Amino acid sequence: MMLEPGSPGWRGRTLSRRAALRGGLLGGLSLFLPFAGNKRQLPVPSGPGGLSFPPVPPGAGDAVRVADGHVAQVLLRWGDPVLPGAPPFDPRRQSARAQAMQFGYNADYVGFIPLQQGGSASHHGLLVVNHESPNARLMLPDYDPDDPTAEQLDIQLAALGVTFVEVYSDVDDRWKVRSDSPRNWRVTGLSPTLLSGPAAGHPWTRTSADPDGTRVLGMLANCSAALTPWGTLLTSEENFHLFFGDRNDFPEDDPRYWIYIDYGLPLKGTQFGFEKADDRFRIDKEPNESFRFGYQVEIDPFDPSWIPRKRTALGRLRSEGASVALTATGQAACYYGDDIMFACVYKFVSRHAMAALDRQHNLRLLDEGTLFAARFNADGSGDWLPLVAGRGPLNRANGFPSQAEVCLNTIRAASLAGATRMDRPEDIVIHPHTRKVYIALTKNPLRGDPTVQRSEPDAANPRKNNRAGHIIELEEDRADHGATRFRWRIFMLCGDPAAPDSYYGGYPKSLVSRMACPDNMVFDKDGNLWVATDGQADVFGDADALFAIPTEGPERGFARRFFTGVPGAEITGPCFTPDCSTLFVSVQHPGEGGTLSEPISSWPDGVQPPRPAVVAIRALDGRQVGKAAAGG
C-alpha cells in the first residue's frame, strides 16, 4: 500500500509514523522507516541503483565542494573563447562581437551529445549549454542602469542563447575544450529565428521590423532544455516577460492588455533595462514583440544553417525546460511546466510518429499535435485536459477563435480548461526505466495567503506558505506517454527534515541532507534522481547544492548532498555522460546580489568579476559518479 503524501489521509499517517517511532512501535510501519532501528548509520547501497558517497556538509564559503572520492574541474567559464578567432576574455574591453564568439553568461542547461560511439562515447562529445540571463552590474564595469548604451545591450544579448562546443577528456581524464572545432557555434539573443506552428503570422506576432510575424531576432531567457529522440535540441524561453516593459497607457479594451497582465509583464521599467536602449523592448512602442517570445525553440545541434524554430504549437509560457519521450505509438510527448506561482503543467503530443531515418519529417513533428494541461485530482488520479480551440470553454466568446490564440495565451486557456495551479513547476524529467515522470515544484510562499485569490492548498500543492517546494511523481496510464489519464503522488516534501510537514521517504532527520527549492533534475542510468536547488540560502542559509535521491527500493526518498556551490549561485544543468563517469553541472550567477565594487564571490578565479561556469565532476577511481569509493 502506498502510504505516501498525496495519498488520502497521509497527514495523519505522517504524524502516527513519527509517534510510533518515538514509542518504538514500528510494527507494520517499518516499510517507511527501513533504518529506524539503526539511525546512526547511512543506508548501504541496495542494489544496482545504490549510491555510496557520504554527503558533503552544507555549502559555506567561496568554493565549490564535491563528495569525497570525486574531483570537480572548472571546464568552461563565461567569456572563454569557443569559436575560432574569438578574443580572450577581457571584461574591460568587452564587445558584442567578442561575446558572440565566447561562452555566454549564466549557464543553465547542459547536454552532452556523444561524438564517437562505443567505448569513447563518454569521453568525446558536443556540449550544449544554455545561457539564461544577463547581469550588467557584474558583466559591465562602466554600466549605468539609468543610461545603458546600445553596445552594452548587444553585449548582454550576445551573452544569452546557447553554446555548442566540442569537449573531450584526454589521457589524464581531464576535460578539455576544442575551441577551434568547426562543430562549435552559438545561438544568441541576436540570432535569426523563425516562428512556426499555429501562431506564426498571427496579427499579434507582427511588428514594424517583421510585418509577416514569422522572423524573430533572437531567443531570450533560455533556461533548461532537452535533447529529442530525433537528435535536436528543444530549449525553453523561460522568464521572457522580465525583458519587456513600459506598458504605460495601453488600452484596457484591447485583448492584449489582459494577456500582458496574465504573463506578468511589468507596467513600467524592467529589471534588465533593455527598454531604455532599444524600443523593441518597449510595449508602448512595439506592442507585439513580446508575443514572439516564451516558446520551446528547436535547434539542430549539427546544422547552424537550419534556422532555430520557435514551436508555437507547444504554447507560450515561462517554461523551465521540457523532457521529450516517445508514446507507445511513436509520437513525440513533451512535458514542461510554467515556472510561475499558481501556474500549470503541460504536455504536448505530436500528431505524427517519429520516423527514425526521415529528418525532414521529424523536423516538422512539433508543429502539429495536441497541447494538454494537467489536472491533479484529490483522489490521486489525474487528467490531461486538451487545450483545443472550439472545445469546451476555449471558444470565440472567451477569446479563442482559433488555435493560434490558445498558443499565444496559453495561461488563460489552461485556466479556463480547469488545470491545477501548481507551486511553480520547474524541471520535469522521466525515469529511464519505469517511465514515471517527476515534477519539481520549486516553491510558492503565497500558497494559502488570504490576500491572494484562489490560493488555497490542494492535494497536489498541500502546504501553505510553501517556501521549500516539493516533488511529484506521475505515472501515465499503461506507462504510455500518450495517455490522457495518470496517477500521481508526492515523492518528496522539501524543507527542514524535522518539520512534521516535510517528507524524505520516511527517513529521520539525522540521516538525510536538508534540501529546499528543487529546480533542475536529471536521472543517472540507474534511476537515481539528481536534484539541483535554487533557494537553499533563503530557507536554510547555506549554498545551493546538488542532491542524489534513489527513487525505487528501500532507499527511495533518501536525499544526500553531493555538491555545493558558492555565494549568490544556484546549481543548474546536471548532465551525465552515457556511462555516468562524468557529471557536468553549471554554477549559475555566482556573486549575484553583490556588485563589482562590493563583491560577495570571486569564484572561480579568485578575482573580479565572478564567472558563471560549467564544472566537470569525475570519480577519482574512474567509476560511476556517486559510486566512487570514498577517498579513492
CA angle 263, 267, 270 (to 5 degrees): 85
Q: Is the dihedral of CA 187, 189, 192, 193 positive or negative?
A: positive
CA distance 24 to 391: 56
What residues from 557 to 586 belong to the interface with ligand FEO (CB under 6 A)? none
Nearer to Ca ion, 534 or 542 (CB): 534
Closest to Ca ion by CB, 198 vs 573, is 573
Instruction: Tell me whether residue 298 or residue 519 sits nearer to Ca ion (CB atom).
Output: 519
Greatest C-alpha distance within the chain: 73
Q: Which residue's CB is nearer to ligand FEO, number 96 or number 439?
A: 439
Residue 469 Cβ, how far from ligand FEO at the closest point, in Å?
12
Q: Give me the least distance between CB of 323 and ligand FEO, in Å please.
A: 14
Residue of 320, 524, 542, 544 that binds ligand FEO (CB under 6 A): 320
Q: How many residues does the chain have?
A: 632
**Contacted by 246, from Ca ion, ligand FEO, none: CB < 5 to 8 Å by type:** none
Contacts with ligand FEO in 512-551 (CB under 6 A)? 519
Strands 309-311 and 192-196: parallel
Binding mask 384-413 for Ca ion (x = CB under 5 A): ------------------------------
Least CB distance from residue 352 to ligand FEO, whole Å? 30
Minimum CB distance to ligand FEO, residue 132 (Å): 5
238 binds, among ligand FEO, Ca ion, none (CB under 5 to 8 A by kind): ligand FEO
Q: Which residue has the cell 506521475?
A: 474
Q: State the helix-helix crossing angle for 410-417 and 255-262, rounded to 10 degrees.
A: 80
| Residue closer to Ca ion (CB basis): 282 or 424 | 424
Question: What is the smallest separation between the CB atom of 220 and Ca ion, expressed in angstroms?
Answer: 15
Rounded to the nearest whole angstrom, what is the least distance from the CB of residue 294 to ligand FEO in the complex?
13
User: Which residue's CB is nearer to Ca ion, number 405 or number 534?
Assistant: 534
Near ligand FEO by CB under 6 A: residue from 62, 154, 275, 426: 426
Residue 95, beta-bridge partner list: none
Residues between 315 and 374 that touch Ca ion (CB under 5 A): none
Distance CA 122, CA 215 (A): 37
Q: How many CB atoms lie within 10 A of CB 506?
A: 24
In whole angstroms, what is the distance from residue 592 CA to residue 87 CA?
A: 26
- d(CA 610, CA 331) in angstroms, rounded, equals 44
3-state secondary structure of 430: strand
Q: In the bound complex, what is the minimum distance in angstroms from residue 530's beta carbon to ligand FEO?
A: 16
Residue closest to ligand FEO when measured from CB atoms: 223
- Pairwise CA distance, residues 52 & 67, whole Å: 10
Any contact of residue 132 with ligand FEO (CB under 6 A)? Answer: yes
Q: Applying CB under 5 A, what is the total number of residues that bind Ca ion?
A: 2
- The DSSP letter of residue 254 is S
Q: Which residue, judged by CB position, is nearest to Ca ion in the bound state?
A: 534
Rounded (5°) CA angle 150-591-95: 25
Cell triple for 48: 544496482
- Nearest residue (CB) to ligand FEO, 62 versus 132: 132
Report the relative pairing of strands 425-430 and 437-441 from DSSP bridges: antiparallel
132: partner contacted, choices Ca ion, ligand FEO, none (Cβ within 5-8 A by kind): ligand FEO
Nearest distance, CB of residue 110 and Ca ion, angstroms: 12
Separation CA 620–CA 18 (nearest Å): 40
Distance from C-alpha of 612 to C-alpha of 60, rounded to nearest angstrom: 18
Cell 569559436 belongs to residue:
83
Least distance from C-beta 346 to Ca ion, angstroms?
Answer: 16
- Neighbouring CB atoms inside 10 A of 530's CB total 25
The span from the CA of 409 to the CA of 202, in Å, is 12
Residue 367 or 519 having the CB closest to ligand FEO: 519
**Interface pattern 475-514 for ligand FEO (x via CB under 6 A):** ----------------------------------------
What lies within 8 Å, CB to CB, of 17 at 6+ separation is: 29, 32, 33, 506
What is the distance between the alpha carbons of residues 551 and 547, in angstroms, rounded to a whole number?
13
CB 235 to ligand FEO: min, Å: 12
Per-residue mark of binding to Ca ion, 527-566 (x: CB under 5 A): -------x--------------------------------
Nearer to Ca ion, 62 or 519 (CB): 519
Nearest to ligand FEO of 354, 446 (CB atom): 446
d(CA 117, CA 111): 17
Q: What is the end-to-end Cα distance of the chain in Å, rounded? A: 40
CA-closest candidate to residue 625, choices 572, 586, 583, 573: 583
Give the residue with the Cβ less far from ligand FEO, 136 or 223. Answer: 223
Partner touching 338 among Ca ion, ligand FEO, none, CB below 5 to 8 Å by kind: none
Binding site for ligand FEO (CB under 6 A): 132, 223, 238, 320, 339, 426, 519
Binding site for Ca ion (CB under 5 A): 519, 534
